Structure 1
Amino acid sequence: MPRPSPPSADASRPALFQRQQQRRLQQILWALVSVFGLLIVMNLFTGRFRSAGLEGLIVSLLALAMHWNVREQAARAVALTVATLMLGLCVLMINNQGLYDEAPLAFPALLLFTGLFGFRRMFWVLMCSMLAVVALLFFLHRADVFHSAPVVPLDWRRPFVISLIVLVTGLFAWLLTSDLGRTMLQLETEKRALEESHARIEVLAQRDSLTGLPNRALARDRLAHLLRQARRSGRMVAVMFLDLDNFKTINDSLGHAAGDDLLCQVAAKLRACVRETDTVARVSGDEFQILLGDLQDEDAIVAVVAKVTHLLGRAFVLDGIEVLVTASLGIAVAPRDGAEGDVLLKNADMAMYQAKDSGRNTFCFFDASMNESVVEHLHIASGLRAALSQGELQLHYQPQFDLRSGRILGAEALLRWKHPELGMIPPGKFIPVAERSGLINEVGAWVLQQACREAQAWRGQGLGALNVAVNVSPLQFRRDDIEREVAKALAASGLSADALELELTESLLVADARNIGDVLQRLSAQGVRISIDDFGTGYSNLGYLRRFAVHRLKIDQSFVRRMRANAHDEGLVRAIIEMAHCLDLQTVAEGVEDVETLDRLHAFGCEIGQGFHWSPALPAEAFVAFVRERQVEVG
């Protein structure tokens, strides 16, 4: 394998290597100046004034080389040094004994110096010059120019031997200096690559790779710094948690590339909302932190929130599509809400979830009562796990009636939790906890299996072919195994698929229409009935329902209860019923509490009703007794 060539004269050398050469050259020049200075003194004492003058000239030229070296003109300094030394050696040999003089002994050292500090061209020019000088001196000896030469006659062998020494020494010097230069260059290159690698690692350790914003670790360090400053200045520090409300929908519908583009655009807008001394960090998928320091009052915080809300309120363009994005913000302020970073981060996170619970697209300052809610949340979540295994959960059933015949058609299954210490816990309290903690999937599966099992038991008890309606959480429906859970519950109970009705919220259909539509179509093909619960609260277009395999609409009870007192609500109920009939859908009225409301619903053409006018939700045994009694009355 051929040896790699050493750096050429025009090659750029690493800065560190150049600085090291510059220092070493300066040291050598000082040594040469000192040596020639001593020679000058010695020659002056011995009366050799011409030699002293020559050496003074050499010292002057070396001093000029030192000046160039200090001015970072190392190449010129090396060239001048080599030329000066070579000229001085030649003059010494000519003035003295030629090839019999000691001066040629310095040739190898000069070659080594040139190899270390010079370049390829300079090295070979110097070696050729030395060989030429040796040849010239040989001919001068033959011409008897040197009268001080020794008696021994000079033949061709002496210059030949000197030339061989110069060549061999030059070869050694060349190989050594080439290897040394190559090694130094390689070491400097590796050092630079290592420094760049460390810099990249530091960036990756402290920066978000997508947006370039500080990550969670760097944000924590900056928060600690802001808090130390605040303790000295007496000012406030604000920690904001910002979470995009509908990021998952955008990510799922437009793709991850569009989602990444959105995150980068949001990051740029957030940076534009704060000062350079403040920090915007990305701490998770669609969650950002904003750290504000040196604040006099909360007005400055509200001003930033207003700016953030305003900028995020503008449409984002993703793949040519304008997309509106909202965000929920939670804010904790030091020292009021805590003096430590971890405490502030936890409190800001709680405030953000409170903003989401308040309807999203809003902001919320931390309040001490939120801590109590979190403790209660943890207590309920822990108890709910035990309730699943210890049989504390129950299903109550509210009868559903045919408004024309008064016959019971079935019941809606409603979940109840009888806690051994706290008594009956209302669903509105533990269902949200189950959804947040992920327990809703286990709870929902249990409800589905229990409802199917008890509906099949009604048939065995002679109650007839009663249907059962089960509420399904949006989180359950977004899982891939909802169809498997339904099939499992039907198979385990033996219940016919057409006796099961799944109730979905209107908002679920609007939020995830494409995926939900396919699932509903498959469930409907199996015979399972689908109804839309609390219809009217989402104000969606009824024509939109043509895309879904839906059988019934349940009119929200808030409209039904206000029918008698509010003409607008009565008109809305009547419009929903008429439009549902145009789509061949049945309607179920919730919250029927008196005869007058019942009569109006019947007049509007509503088919099914449920409410306190007939019965509240009843435990399983009480429901069976109620159905038997009602069947006797109707019979």
Structure 2
Amino acid sequence: MPQSLPASMDMSHATGLAWLRQRRLQQLLWVLVAVFGLVIVMNLGFGRYRSAGLEMVIVLALALAMHWNQRARTMHAVGLTVATLLLGLCVLMVNNQGLYDEAPMAFPALLLFAGLFGFRRMFWGLVCGMLAVVALLFFLHQAGVFHSAPVMPLDWRRPFVIGLIVLVTGLFAWLLTSDLMLAMRQLEAEKRALEASHARIEVLAQRDSLTGLPNRSLARERLGFLLQQARRSGGMVAVMFLDLDNFKTINDSLGHAAGDDLLCQVADKLRACVRETDTVARVSGDEFLILLGDLQDEDAIVAVVAKVTHLLGRAFTVEGVEVLATASLGIAVAPRDGEDADLLLKNADTAMYQSKDAGRNTFCFFDASMNESVTEHLHIASGLRSALAAGELQLHYQPQFDLHSGRILGAEALLRWHHPELGWIPPGKFIPIAERSGLINELGSWVLRQACRDAQAWRSDGLGELRVAVNVSPLQFRRDDIEREVAQALLASGLPATALELELTESLLVADARNIGEVLQRLGAQGVQIAIDDFGTGYSNLGYLRRFSVHRLKIDQSFVRRMCANAHDEGLVRAIIEMAHCLDLQTVAEGVEDSQTLERLHAFGCESAQGYHWSPALPADAFVEFVRDRQAVAG
């Protein structure tokens, strides 16, 4: 969770004003000591030894106040200073002219001092003390104690006026110092709030608000520090880029709150995999960064990777559901793969995508050849954006046959791309790039519209009621407008809904069963056919086959091609066909390449098939010619 502000910072804010008062008091005490020291020298020069002795006592008292102030006993120092100065002024007045002496002129300054550094009771106690001194001196005058009094007789009016001056001066000093102290407290409070806000902003700027882990900015700063250490020690630094596999599926199916819970659990597991000196950071949605410093060999890196994969390999309990959160890791090592923080992060990210392409739930060390793949990836992604407008994309069609009658039922639409510079690019290369770059939605929409137009053209040309099968990407199907796109493609082409078949993957059906099930129900109600593509390679869960409006299972070609040479694959194909029949589903075998495979499929009860035994995927014109030739031979 996000870190709180340090307690020492709060304490320093609380004592900021007290520290300023202590410092100012110390400066004033030094001034008073210096002034009284000068007066002592002057009195000694004129032979006033009694006055000089009194002033020395005052200096000693002020020195004691300075000592207390240095020991943070500020209130004691203020009280001693006020008492010493008041007593000193009283003694000076008694020893000299009493109420006619210049000493009372210092009363206002002493009131200001007490108002600034003291407290309410001390201040008003000082005012009362000053009034008492004035009254006492008046009575001493009346008793004839002061023989050097001036010619003008002293009556009650002079102490009364001096008392009024003290009261008014005290009121002014109190109001002034109260306002000043209030303003200082407000400024101090605003300063504390501003500094606390800055501290919180700094924490948020460097921490992930969900997991409390360092974010990308702080991780990059720490990586720079680790690299500096490595240069001095000669050790290695490892940068591990980690991306959770299929996190979006979990997030979409269980909800964002469950996704956040999973991310927090993963963060805790990753912290447990590294040392305290290492760093685990969350750099984006489901991407984490692990920084390992002070490494002597790559065995230590592999040990951490093994620990990470082991801990993440265990099921996480989220919302009462056990889910798996495997990860793909990319690793870059300094100084071998670079000594710059940005370069190492880039290389680790590249290696992570390589591990995803290798099948996920694995790790890859960075290799210089990966940069060539990245360049090619960017080139292909850039070319895809203009391929549609330039007419570089084509649909090829592989015929699908009824194994009982031998007639053509329809065809599977397969996307092909002829790049002007690179030539024919295999779908296995550009389709994943289209999915990662977000272009798959645009490509999928074009394929759907074009396939419907071609299928309707076949009907118009008299080729019969052929159906067309179109592969739909999971990313495309999860869009809210998939039903609208299907309806628009059928309406624009005039193709009946029963002539369109959408091929979906097993993982898509498992990911968001409730929402996708509702969409399939509505599509099925319109007459659109649904097939499960590459069946047997994914979850193969009978539950979703019973719930969803599925019409056909397409047996993956990897099993079909090996079924004559491998008894295990043959048994698997037979089991899929029998299971489909039990569920009232039809089967389509992919990858039929010889008559022996065809005969066994026919014996097992498979309804239809496609493969090189009949024809590869053909351009639209060649497919039309192929169908006409087959129909002519059959006729």
TM-score scaled to structure 1, two decimals? Answer: 0.94
Alpha-carbon distance change, 320 to 568 in structure 1, aligned in 2, over 3 angstroms: closer
Who is 1:613 aligned against? 613
Who is 1:15 aligned against? 15
Who is 2:257 aligned against? 257
Give the distance between the partners of 1:87 and 1:61, measured in 2 at CA: 11
Who is 1:482 aligned against? 482
Who is 1:278 aligned against? 278
Give the distance between the partners of 1:127 and 1:245, measured in 2 at CA: 79
Q: Deviations along 1:538-563, whole A, 9 cap, x unmatched?
A: 25133430111011111112222222
The question of whether the paired residues in 2 share the 8 Å contact of 1:395 and 1:414 is answered with yes
Q: Deviations along 1:218-238, whole A, 9 cap, x unmatched?
A: 222222222233233322221
Who is 1:358 aligned against? 358
Who is 2:132 aligned against? 132
Q: Deviations along 1:2-48, whole A, 9 cap, x unmatched?
A: xxxxxxxxxx9952332232232223223323333344344444444
The question of whether the paired residues in 2 share the 8 Å contact of 1:239 and 1:332 is answered with yes
Deviation at 1:415?
A: 1.7
| 151-160 vs 71-80, which moves further | 151-160
| 49-58 vs 211-220, which moves further | 49-58
Who is 2:105 aligned against? 105
Alpha-carbon distance change, 87 to 412 in structure 1, aligned in 2, over 3 angstroms: same
The question of whether the paired residues in 1 share the 8 Å contact of 2:416 and 2:424 is answered with yes
Deviation at 1:265?
A: 2.4
Who is 2:165 aligned against? 165
- Provide the aligned length of Structure 1 versus Structure 2: 624
Who is 2:604 aligned against? 604
Q: Secondary structure at the match of 1:273?
A: coil
Deviation at 1:122?
A: 0.5
The question of whether the paired residues in 2 share the 8 Å contact of 1:381 and 1:437 is answered with yes
Who is 1:413 aligned against? 413
The AA in structure 2 aligned to 1:594 is D
Alpha-carbon distance change, 119 to 624 in structure 1, aligned in 2, over 3 angstroms: same
Q: Secondary structure at the match of 1:275?
A: coil
Q: Deviations along 1:450-487, whole A, 9 cap, x unmatched?
A: 11111111111111111111111112111112111111
Give the distance between the partners of 1:45 and 1:153, measured in 2 at CA: 33
Give the distance between the partners of 2:13 and 2:588, measured in 1 at CA: 85
Who is 2:6 aligned against? none
Give the distance between the partners of 2:43 and 2:146, measured in 1 at CA: 21
The AA in structure 1 aligned to 2:460 is G
Q: Deviations along 1:499-533, whole A, 9 cap, x unmatched?
A: 11111122222233222211111111111001111
Alpha-carbon distance change, 547 to 94 in structure 1, aligned in 2, over 3 angstroms: same
The AA in structure 2 aligned to 1:593 is E
Q: Secondary structure at the match of 1:283?
A: strand
Give the distance between the partners of 1:225 and 1:353, measured in 2 at CA: 26
Give the distance between the partners of 1:583 and 1:390, measured in 2 at CA: 45
Give the distance between the partners of 2:437 and 2:95, measured in 1 at CA: 100
Structure 1 residue 331 corresponds to structure 2 residue 331: yes
Who is 1:27 aligned against? 27
The AA in structure 2 aligned to 1:280 is V
The question of whether the paired residues in 2 share the 8 Å contact of 1:590 and 1:609 is answered with yes
Give the distance between the partners of 2:626 and 2:34, measured in 1 at CA: 120
The 5-angstrom pairing of residues 583-602 of structure 1 reads: 583-602=583-602
Who is 1:226 aligned against? 226
Alpha-carbon distance change, 36 to 387 in structure 1, aligned in 2, over 3 angstroms: closer
Q: Secondary structure at the match of 2:252?
A: helix
The 5-angstrom pairing of residues 366-515 of structure 1 reads: 366-515=366-515
Deviation at 1:274?
A: 2.1
| 488-497 vs 275-284, which moves further | 275-284
The question of whether the paired residues in 2 share the 8 Å contact of 1:577 and 1:587 is answered with yes
The 5-angstrom pairing of residues 284-363 of structure 1 reads: 284-363=284-363
Alpha-carbon distance change, 615 to 276 in structure 1, aligned in 2, over 3 angstroms: same
Alpha-carbon distance change, 316 to 598 in structure 1, aligned in 2, over 3 angstroms: closer
| 407-416 vs 559-568, which moves further | 559-568
The question of whether the paired residues in 2 share the 8 Å contact of 1:542 and 1:580 is answered with no
Who is 2:79 aligned against? 79
The question of whether the paired residues in 2 share the 8 Å contact of 1:14 and 1:185 is answered with no
Deviation at 1:348?
A: 0.7
Q: Deviations along 1:569-592, whole A, 9 cap, x unmatched?
A: 222222211221111111112222
Alpha-carbon distance change, 393 to 563 in structure 1, aligned in 2, over 3 angstroms: same
The AA in structure 1 aligned to 2:159 is P
Deviation at 1:157?
A: 0.9
Q: Deviations along 1:245-272, whole A, 9 cap, x unmatched?
A: 1322232233222222222222222223
The AA in structure 2 aligned to 1:464 is G
Give the distance between the partners of 2:452 and 2:27, measured in 1 at CA: 96
Give the distance between the partners of 1:415 and 1:42, measured in 2 at CA: 109
The AA in structure 1 aligned to 2:127 is M
Q: Deviations along 1:154-183, whole A, 9 cap, x unmatched?
A: 111111111111112112221222222222
Give the distance between the partners of 1:520 and 1:258, measured in 2 at CA: 26
Q: Secondary structure at the match of 2:612?
A: coil
The question of whether the paired residues in 1 share the 8 Å contact of 2:17 and 2:188 is answered with yes
The AA in structure 1 aligned to 2:603 is A
Alpha-carbon distance change, 320 to 629 in structure 1, aligned in 2, over 3 angstroms: closer
Give the distance between the partners of 2:377 and 2:36, measured in 1 at CA: 90
The AA in structure 2 aligned to 1:616 is P
Who is 2:88 aligned against? 88
The question of whether the paired residues in 1 share the 8 Å contact of 2:250 and 2:511 is answered with no
The AA in structure 2 aligned to 1:218 is L
Alpha-carbon distance change, 121 to 584 in structure 1, aligned in 2, over 3 angstroms: same
The question of whether the paired residues in 2 share the 8 Å contact of 1:13 and 1:185 is answered with no
| 324-333 vs 218-227, which moves further | 218-227
Structure 1 residue 577 corresponds to structure 2 residue 551: no
Structure 1 residue 64 corresponds to structure 2 residue 64: yes
Give the distance between the partners of 1:575 and 1:13, measured in 2 at CA: 75
The question of whether the paired residues in 2 share the 8 Å contact of 1:553 and 1:585 is answered with yes
Alpha-carbon distance change, 22 to 487 in structure 1, aligned in 2, over 3 angstroms: same
Identity %: 84
Q: Secondary structure at the match of 2:503?
A: strand
Structure 1 residue 190 corresponds to structure 2 residue 183: no
The AA in structure 2 aligned to 1:225 is F
Q: Secondary structure at the match of 1:290?
A: strand
Alpha-carbon distance change, 241 to 633 in structure 1, aligned in 2, over 3 angstroms: same
Give the distance between the partners of 1:252 and 1:269, measured in 2 at CA: 23
Specify every segment of 5 or more residues in structure 1 that has no aligned partner in the other structure, as ranges.
1-11
The question of whether the paired residues in 1 share the 8 Å contact of 2:444 and 2:476 is answered with yes
Deviation at 1:125?
A: 0.3
Q: Deviations along 1:415-451, whole A, 9 cap, x unmatched?
A: 2222333333222222222222222112111111111
Q: Deviations along 1:595-633, whole A, 9 cap, x unmatched?
A: 332222222221112222222222222221221222222
The question of whether the paired residues in 2 share the 8 Å contact of 1:37 and 1:59 is answered with yes
Give the distance between the partners of 2:401 and 2:455, measured in 1 at CA: 16
Alpha-carbon distance change, 136 to 422 in structure 1, aligned in 2, over 3 angstroms: closer
Give the distance between the partners of 2:591 and 2:313, measured in 1 at CA: 38
TM-score scaled to structure 2, two decimals? Answer: 0.94
Give the distance between the partners of 2:286 and 2:300, measured in 1 at CA: 25
Alpha-carbon distance change, 34 to 622 in structure 1, aligned in 2, over 3 angstroms: closer
Q: Secondary structure at the match of 2:272?
A: helix
The AA in structure 2 aligned to 1:257 is A
CA RMSD of aligned residues (A): 2.0
